[in-house]
Chain A
Amino acid sequence: DAKTTQPNSMESNEEEPVHLPCNHSTISGTDYIHWYRQLPSQGPEYVIHGLTSNVNNRMASLAIAEDRKSSTLILHRATLRDAAVYYCILPTAGGTSYGKLTFGQGTILTVHP
């Protein structure tokens, strides 16, 4: 399985943009890049995913490097509700083990008022 590397923690101020990096240097051509977040005492929540092109949705933007060895989750204006653990994950792509998510430690995002 392709592995990901994220910083352990990051801090931001409310209403400022946040760029959360993820390295995935062993990514294969068919691996999708998924991002999830987990708020305290809740289950993980889907944020965004993509393959090659940058992606935008109502929650965030995903910027994918041209060589796909890294990506950045962008929260355009952080709010206190965005304080969570953010996970960058590459689901397994093939056969009967399709779609397994391997969670690392993620990045703990702290948002200051």
Chain B
Amino acid sequence: DAGITQSPRHKVTETGTPVTLRCHQTENHRYMYWYRQDPGHGLRLIHYSYGVKDTDKGEVSDGYSVSRSKTEDFLLTLESATSSQTSVYFCAITGSTANYGYTFGSGTRLTVV
């Protein structure tokens, strides 16, 4: 039913390589977010977007960049992957906090070796 899909679902990559994760939505929602989840830390915000080409940093943005060239796609890039970026990454979307809940993707499990 999702309205939001993340790809890939799983990825193993080597230290130092660039990696791009994709979040795709079919809801035409304005707001999109990237979170990472690690044991003992819960979900932490990496970057977010409040419109096409409008993005900003979250609390753990170092080593990550994002792009949003169209409403439906929000890309997260690890410029040079490190082992500390091994994590589960979740994308979320919403239209507004008043009228909508947030919908989360199924997550991407990234392992950096």
Chain A positions within 8 Å of B, measured between CB atoms, are 32, 34, 36, 42-49, 51, 91, 93, 96-106
Contacts and interface: CB of A to CB of B under 8 A. Distances in A.
B101 A43 contact: no
Nearest to B31: A99
Contacts of A99: 31, 33, 48, 50, 94, 96-97, 102
Interface string B35-58: 100000011110010100010101
A56 to B, nearest CB: 14
Given A97-B56, A98-B31, A100-B58, A44 B94 contact: no
Contacts of A93: 97
Contacts of A51: 98
A34 B101 contact: yes
22 contacts: A32-B98, A34-B101, A36-B102, A42-B106, A43-B104, A43-B106, A44-B102, A44-B104, A46-B102, A48-B101, A49-B101, A93-B97, A96-B50, A98-B31, A99-B31, A99-B50, A99-B94, A100-B33, A100-B45, A100-B48, A102-B45, A103-B43
Interface of B: 31, 33, 35, 42-45, 48, 50, 54, 56, 58, 90, 92, 94, 96-98, 101-107
A34 B53 CA distance: 27
Given A34-B102, A101-B45, A44 B90 contact: yes
